[in-house]
Structure 1
C-alpha cells in the first residue's frame, strides 16, 4: 500500500489548496498530490505481493528486543504497529512446460492477491475520543509467463512478462464532528472511492549456480519494470499512469539434509538487497532496503490439487518503513 503521504497528511494540504486563491493552479496541485498517492498505492501493492519482496505473516516482532540490538533500521515500535495494520493475501499457482531444446522451459502462472492497510485515527485532531476508521485496499488478478534458458551448468537466464488487473478502494468512516465537517470536500476525491488500473510487468533474472546444476547456493540478480494506467475514472485526479522499477540482488541456499531425514521436506535461506525507483522511490521510506529469511517447506503436490507446497518461515526487513521481523506462512514457494 501507499505509506507516503499518509491519508491524514494528504487531506489537510488538499483542504488548504482548495481554499487558496487561484482555483486553476490549486486544482492542479490537488490533482498532482492525489495522483502521486494513488500511483504509489498500485505499485507498492504489487511489490508487497510479488512473492519474495516483502513478506507479512501472522506474528510481527522487533528484532532489537530479541537480539539485544539498538538499530532503528532493524525495527521500531512504529514499524511494528504499521506491519500489524497491514493484511496481505497472495494465492499463486504456476505450471512448467519443458521446451524442445534441452535446458529451456516455459512457466505459466496466475495469482490472486489482496493488500489492506486499516487504521483508526483522528483525521482532524479533536477533543472527542472517537476515532475515524480508514481502510485502503488493493485487490489484483495476475497472469503471465516466464521463459528460462540454461546457458551452462552454472548460468541461467529468464525473461518474464505478467499482466495485472488491480482495484484500489478506500472506505473511510468519519466519526467526529470535525472530520464530518470536511467529509464533503474529500469524499470521492481522497476518501470513499474506487479506481481500476492495468499494469504490465516485464522482468529479467540472471542466476549463477555455485557448484553446477545440483548446486545448493544460487546468486541472482532480478530486475522488474512496472507500468500501467487507470481506466473507467470520472475524476482528473484519478487519471494515473503508475510507473516503477525494482532490482534485487542476493543469494539463496537450499540444503538437502532435511530431505534425507524427512522425505518431501526441505529448508532454504535467502538474503537480498532491493533498490527501488519511479513511483516506488520513497513509498517505503527509502530507495533501498534489505530482506533476509529462512523457510521450511513441505511438499504436498500429490495430496492437494493446485498446491505444490506449504511451509513456515521467519522474515527480516532492514531499512524500510516495514522494517522488523515476522513469522510467515509460505504457499507454493518457488
Structure 2
C-alpha cells in the first residue's frame, strides 16, 4: 500500500531533511499517518477485506493477470498481519404501536495490525528493519428495521480509538547519520487517533428450499482527529469512504452427527475514496470467497458456524489469494 511504503517514505524523508522549508516534510508525514489510520479502519472490517493464514498467487495455477496477484502484492500480504476480534450484543427488540419492530445491537471490536518489512537502499549494506503497529478498539450502535417481506434497512454509528507505534532499526550507514532528525518525528515514534464512523445499509434475504441467498449494500464514512508525538503533533485527520455491494449464498448440504453443513460463497465489490484511495492505490477492488461451514450443536448462543475457505482479492495493492478461517458467517 502506498500509504505505508517504507522505502518510498524513507527516500522522501531523507530528501526533505535538506529542504529549505519544513512545511513540505510536515505535510508528507501527516499524509502517511492519515493513510495508516484509514487503512486500519478498513482492514478491521471483514466485509471489506478478508485475511487468512496462508497466502498464494492465483496466477501460479491459472494465468489471469497482475490484478489478481503478483510477486509484489504477495510479498506485501506476507509482511502485513491483521487480527480482529468482534463481539455483538443484541439488545431487546423494540415493538411499536403499529406492531412494526426495530432490532438494535451493540458491536464491540478489538483489532491489531502489523506491517513488518526490510528497507534496502543498497545491496552493499544490511537492510533496515521497519515495523508499524496499530491497535484499535471500537464500539458501534446499529439499528435494523424489516421492510416488506425480504428487505431490511439499517444504520449505525460508532467510534474507534487507535494507537500507532513505529519501530525502526537503523543498519544502513546512510540512514544512521540522519537518525537524530528522523527519530521521534518520522520513525521510532507514536500517535493516537479517534475516528467517528457512520453507515447505512440495505439487505435482501431470500430463503430457498436449498438454503438462502442475500444481497446487500453498505455505505461507510469515517472522519478522525489525531494527536501524539509523531510529526511534532501534526497527526492530521484520517478520512475515508467505502461502499460495499455484494451477494452471499448459503447452500445447505446435510446434517452429520448433529453438525449442519453449508457451502458458502460470496462476491463483493468495494469502492474507495479519500485517504483509502491513496493508501490502496485504487478506487475499487473485488473480493470473492468460497468455503465450507459447520454449525455445531453446542454453544449455539455464541457460535452460529465455523469453517474454512478460500478468498481472492482482485484489483488492489493486496491482490491475491488466501486460505481463511470463517466464524459466524451471516
Tell me the TM-score normalized by structure 2: 0.91
Tell me if the contact between 2:185 and 2:229 (Cα under 8 Å) persists in the aligned partners: no
Q: CA deviation at 1:279?
A: 0.7
Equivalent position of 2:66 in the other structure? 72
Q: Is 2:7 the partner of 1:12?
A: no
Paired residues of 1:231 and 1:239 also in contact (CA < 8 A): yes
CA pair 17-10 structure 1, distance change in 2 beyond 3 A: same
Q: 1:308 to 1:170 in 2, by over 3 A?
A: farther
Equivalent residue of 1:327, what SS? strand
Q: Where does structure 2 lack aligned partners over 5 or more consecutive residues?
A: none
Partner of 2:176: 180
Question: Which 10-residue stretch deviates more, 304-313 or 286-295?
Answer: 304-313
**Cα separation, 2, equivalents of 1:141 and 1:180:** 35
Kindly tell me: are residues 301 and 233 of structure 1, through their superposed partners in 2, closer, same or farther at Cα, counting changes over 3 Å? farther
Indicate the SS of the match to 1:60. Answer: strand
Indicate conservation of the 8 Å contact 2:215/2:246, yes or no. Answer: yes
SS of corresponding position for 2:306: strand
Specify the alignment match of 1:160 in structure 2: 156
What is the TM-score with the length of structure 1 in the denominator?
0.90
In structure 1, the partner of 2:131 is 135
Shift of 1:295: 2.8
Instruction: Tell me the equivalent position of 1:310.
Output: 306
**Unaligned 5+ runs, structure 1:** none
CA-CA distance at 1:305 after TM superposition: 8.3
Answering whether residue 225 of structure 2 is matched by residue 226 of structure 1, we say no
Residue from 263, 276, 284 that aligns with 1:267 = 263
Closer/same/farther in 2, CA of residues 208 and 261 from structure 1, 3 Å limit? farther
Which whole-Å CA distance do the structure 2 matches of 1:162 and 1:108 have between them?
9
- How far does residue 74 in structure 1 lie from its aligned partner after superposition? 1.0
Instruction: Give the equivalent residue in structure 2 for 1:201.
Output: 197
- How well do the aligned residues superpose, as a CA RMSD in angstroms? 2.4
Corresponding residue number in structure 2 for 1:52? 47
Is the CA contact 2:83–2:112 (under 8 Å) kept in the aligned structure 1?
A: yes
Moved more, 226-235 or 163-172: 226-235
Superposition deviation, residue 181 in structure 1? 1.4
- Indicate the residue corresponding to 1:36 in structure 2: 31
Who is 2:122 aligned against? 125
Whether the 8 Å contact between 1:15 and 1:185 is mirrored in structure 2 is no
